[in-house]
């Protein structure tokens, strides 16, 4: 991979488009830094009285009201019940389901929290095949986001309300536009829109820490990373701000940035250099007093970490993990764990896991509220924060519209801003030239999931064929989306495999191949999509002894035999726990994963694979 150690400045993309707008979008308030005292002696935040209700019960009351009407048909029923809920909470006009909810409330300051995460370079318009593969609705991308943000800011200004615009990291890796500009085009767009702050994500380090530094310097708003440190000393790096304080509607929001600590295992070591990532909870506790001293009134953690699916049943494991010391924990804290571990945070804005929260998550003990979107500019988070007018403390939230905490950017709902649409479209056309030519036909939908899946098998088959290897394997996390039935283009294949990982070939004995496969079934972030092998995994056995059957090309594995194995350079470098691979000798086959996938589709089109498990699990 190629590093860019330069400082700020664009690498191309949208300059000459968005930069020349005759009517600039309203800019967010400039960040300032102030100090006030930390909340002394506080062990767990207790709800404060507000308007006859406990503060923490406001959000719970609203959620109960919304759930109560969720089975009623039609927008009118929802809007009417929502209006009743807001009138009970405080006086003012009811919200309209079709537009952002803007209106004064007695005794309450209202701040519109708008947020994105995991943009992954998806500025352009696209079809939402993940919603309906056969008849995908149109998404307006960043141009629709720009129109929505502009509208909220305009209406909020008239109503005397505040607006806060944040991003949760992973801004560029995933599209040709993002990749070809190494994120420059995406930061340019964010500058034009006027973000208040962003946090760096693990993929923002994919082409080297120097490029992450370049993007941070390009940003005309704070690029945060309070726990990004120099490995040898533990000192924070100078090029990422730990926090910022943004004032809007007269309220000072202290925003601390947290990068997932798992970046150390997700990004190859040679790309990180001497950059390290410190524990999230210790980082928040370190900077919270300083932020309070500088004037922060409402505390926000902006993190490239998320609340995982199934959070309702995870509290026991959350308690167990936060009770451990950082060195004892397996992996860094996710957002659910962080907001349970610390009391200093009022609001958590997250990302990383590509799973949205239509209903915000609230920790049952600290009452910290968490927000996150599905990512890839498919939607925009929008929630109305309620701030006590006298104390400037966080009092709860309201939904801004009937869809909950995220607006899906359907073009039928949010018509794209024409200037942004034109500029982004032109940049995308240059970056993605030739990507819409048909490469082949897929006759069945190739889905993916948390277990072995048909798309993973096809990808592994493509790798094995390209290398002429006995066995191929890859990780599920590197397969980023599904492949729809019908004509397939290079764009479709790129969205499946966007990281341009080289393919590495190993020559190993059967005994070593067994150790490699054992690593792939030992849990954590390690998993397998296989080609050329059939294995049976006994889940009751300890790690390193789980495989009780391995067949290569239909024959039992020979411990003394010799086999060729191909996988991605990402895994060959030891990422996500594949520590065994860097110890072995390998060579590049002179082709990356996307090229191998494209050649396979071209050679075998039309393809109609059937899923037959290659990994049999027993005693689960």
pLDDT in tens, 236-273: 999 999 999 999 999 999 999 999 999 999 999 999 99
Contact, 340 vs 322, CB < 8 A?
yes
N-term to C-term CA, the chain: 40
- Tokens 């451990």 label which residue? 324
Q: What is the pTM of this model?
A: 0.77
Name the band, by pLDDT with cuts 50, 70 and 90, for residue 81: very low
Contact, 323 vs 412, CB < 8 A?
no
Helix/strand number for the chain, H first, E second: 17, 30
> What local confidence, expressed as pLDDT, does residue 93 receive?
31
Task: Compute CA 442 distance to the chain's CA centroid, rounded to the nearest angstrom.
Answer: 29
Q: Other C-beta atoms within 10 Å of 336: how many?
A: 25
Over 80: is that where the pLDDT of 580 sits?
yes
Q: Other C-beta atoms within 10 Å of 539: how many?
A: 11
Contact, 183 vs 172, CB < 8 A?
yes
User: What's the chain's average pLDDT?
Assistant: 86
Among the listed residues 153, 58, 148, 169, the one whose alpha carbon sits nearest the alpha carbon of residue 112: 153
CA dihedral in degrees (610, 616, 618, 620; nearest 10)?
Answer: -70
Which residues partner with 129 through β-bridges?
A: none
Helix/strand/coil (H/E/C) assignment for every residue in 240-277: CECEEEEEECCEEEEEEEEECCCHHHHCCHHHHCCEEE
Least confident of 195-199, 371-375, 400-404, 492-496: 400-404
Task: Compute CA 328 distance to the chain's CA centroid, rounded to the nearest angstrom.
Answer: 25
- The DSSP secondary-structure symbol of 309 reads T
| Alpha-carbon distance values, 468 to 217, 463, 487, 596 (Å) | 45, 8, 27, 11
**Residue 445 burial (C-beta neighbours within 10 Å; 0-12, 13-18, 19+):** middle
> What local confidence, expressed as pLDDT, does residue 100 receive?
52
The stretch 82-107 carries a mean pLDDT of 42
Among the listed residues 215, 242, 255, 195, the one whose alpha carbon sits nearest the alpha carbon of residue 29: 195
41-429 and 440-618, same CATH topology: no
Residues 320 and 404: their CA atoms lie apart, in Å, by 31
350: helix, coil or strand?
A: coil
For 88, residues 6+ apart whose C-beta sits below 8 A from its C-beta are: 61
- The DSSP secondary-structure symbol of 508 reads E
Name the band, by pLDDT with cuts 50, 70 and 90, for residue 525: confident
Which residues partner with 54 through β-bridges?
A: 49
> What local confidence, expressed as pLDDT, does residue 330 receive?
86
Name the band, by pLDDT with cuts 50, 70 and 90, for residue 12: very low
Buried b (16+ CB within 10 A) or exposed e, 17-39: bbeeeeeebeebeebebeeeebe
The stretch 417-439 carries a mean pLDDT of 96
Task: Compute CA 271 distance to the chain's CA centroid, rounded to the nearest angstrom.
Answer: 20
235: helix, coil or strand?
A: coil
Pairing of strands 440-442, 486-488: antiparallel
Contact, 551 vs 565, CB < 8 A?
no
The stretch 506-512 carries a mean pLDDT of 98
Homologous superfamily, domain 41-429: Metallo-dependent phosphatases (3.60.21.10)
Which residues partner with 160 through β-bridges?
A: none
The domain 440-618 is placed in CATH, from the list 3.40.50.12640, 2.60.40.10, 3.60.130.10, 3.90.780.10, at: 3.90.780.10
Radius of gyration of the chain (CA): 25
> What local confidence, expressed as pLDDT, does residue 13 receive?
54
Q: How many residues does the chain have?
A: 620
| % the chain with pLDDT above 70 | 83
- The DSSP element (H or E) to which 199 belongs, if any, is strand 197-199
385: helix, coil or strand?
A: strand
> What local confidence, expressed as pLDDT, does residue 129 receive?
83
> What local confidence, expressed as pLDDT, does residue 374 receive?
96
Residues 27 and 25: their CA atoms lie apart, in Å, by 6
Pairing of strands 406-408, 379-388: antiparallel
Least confident of 25-29, 398-402, 515-519: 25-29
> What local confidence, expressed as pLDDT, does residue 91 receive?
30
Which residues partner with 398 through β-bridges?
A: 384
Over 50: is that where the pLDDT of 4 sits?
no
Pairing of strands 251-259, 298-304: parallel
Residues 493 and 500: their CA atoms lie apart, in Å, by 11
Q: Where are the domains of the chain?
A: 41-429, 440-618
| Alpha-carbon distance values, 417 to 60, 127, 599 (Å) | 36, 18, 38
Over 60: is that where the pLDDT of 510 sits?
yes
């Amino acid at each position: 991979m190629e590093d860019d150690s330069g400082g700020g400045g664009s690498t191309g993309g949208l300059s000459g488009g968005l930069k020349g707008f005759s009517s600039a979008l309203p800019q967010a308030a400039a960040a300032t830094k102030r100090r006030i005292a930390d909340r002394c002696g506080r062990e767990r935040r207790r709800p404060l009285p507000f308007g006859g209700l406990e503060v923490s019960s406001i959000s719970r009351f609203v959620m109960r009201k919304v759930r109560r009407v969720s089975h009623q048909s039609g927008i009118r029923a929802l809007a009417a019940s929502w209006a009743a809920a807001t009138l009970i909470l405080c006086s003012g006009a009811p919200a309209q389901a079709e537009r952002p909810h803007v209106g004064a409330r007695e005794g309450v300051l209202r701040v519109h929290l708008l947020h994105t995460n995991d943009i992954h370079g998806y500025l352009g318009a696209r079809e939402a095949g993940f919603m309906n593969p056969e008849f995908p609705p149109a998404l307006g991308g960043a141009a629709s986001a720009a129109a929505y943000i502009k509208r909220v800011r305009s209406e909020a200004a008239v109503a005397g309300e505040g607006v806060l615009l944040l991003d949760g990291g992973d801004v560029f890796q995933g599209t040709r536009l993002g990749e070809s500009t190494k994120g420059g085009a995406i930061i340019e767009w964010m500058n034009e829109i006027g973000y208040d702050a962003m946090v760096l994500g693990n993929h923002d380090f994919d082409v080297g820490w120097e490029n992450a530094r370049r993007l941070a310097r390009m940003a005309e708003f704070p690029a945060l990373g309070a726990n990004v440190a120099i490995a040898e000393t533990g000192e924070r790096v100078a090029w990422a701000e730990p926090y910022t304080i943004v004032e809007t509607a007269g309220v000072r929001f202290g925003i601390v940035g947290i990068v997932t600590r798992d970046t150390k295992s997700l990004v190859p070591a040679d790309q990180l250099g001497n950059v390290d990532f410190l524990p999230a909870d210790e980082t928040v506790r370190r900077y919270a007093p300083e932020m309070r001293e500088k004037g922060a009134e409402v505390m926000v953690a902006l993190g490239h970490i998320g609340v995982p699916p199934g959070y309702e049943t995870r509290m026991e494991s959350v308690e167990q993990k936060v009770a451990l010391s950082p060195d004892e924990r397996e992996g860094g804290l996710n957002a659910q764990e962080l907001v349970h571990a610390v009391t200093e945070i009022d609001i958590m804005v997250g990302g990383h896991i590509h799973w949205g929260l239509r209903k915000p998550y609230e920790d049952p003990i600290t009452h910290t509220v968490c927000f996150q979107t599905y990512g890839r500019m498919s939607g925009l988070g929008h929630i109305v924060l309620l701030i006590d007018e006298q104390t400037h403390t966080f009092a709860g939230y309201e939904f801004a519209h009937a869809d909950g905490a995220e607006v899906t950017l359907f073009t039928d709902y949010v018509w794209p801003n024409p200037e942004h649409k034109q500029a982004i479209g032109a940049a995308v056309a240059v970056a993605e030239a030739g990507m819409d030519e048909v490469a082949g036909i897929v006759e069945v939908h190739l889905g993916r999931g948390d277990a072995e899946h048909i798309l993973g098998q096809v990808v592994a088959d493509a790798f094995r064929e390209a290398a002429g290897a006995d066995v191929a394997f890859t990780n599920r996390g590197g397969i980023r989306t599904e492949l729809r039935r019908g004509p397939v283009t290079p764009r479709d294949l790129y969205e499946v495999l966007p990281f341009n990982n080289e393919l590495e070939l190993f020559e190993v004995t059967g005994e070593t191949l067994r150790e490699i496969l054992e690593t792939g079934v030992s849990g954590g972030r390690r998993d397998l999509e296989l080609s050329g092998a059939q294995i049976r995994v006994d889940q009751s056995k300890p790690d390193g002894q789980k495989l009780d059957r391995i067949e290569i090309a239909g024959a039992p594995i020979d411990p003394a035999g010799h086999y060729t194995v191909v996988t991605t350079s990402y895994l060959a470098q030891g990422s996500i726990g594949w520590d065994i691979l860097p110890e072995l000798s390998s060579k590049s086959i002179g082709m990356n994963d996307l090229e191998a996938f494209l050649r396979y589709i071209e050679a075998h089109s039309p393809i109609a694979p059937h899923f037959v498990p290659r990994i049999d699990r027993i005693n689960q």
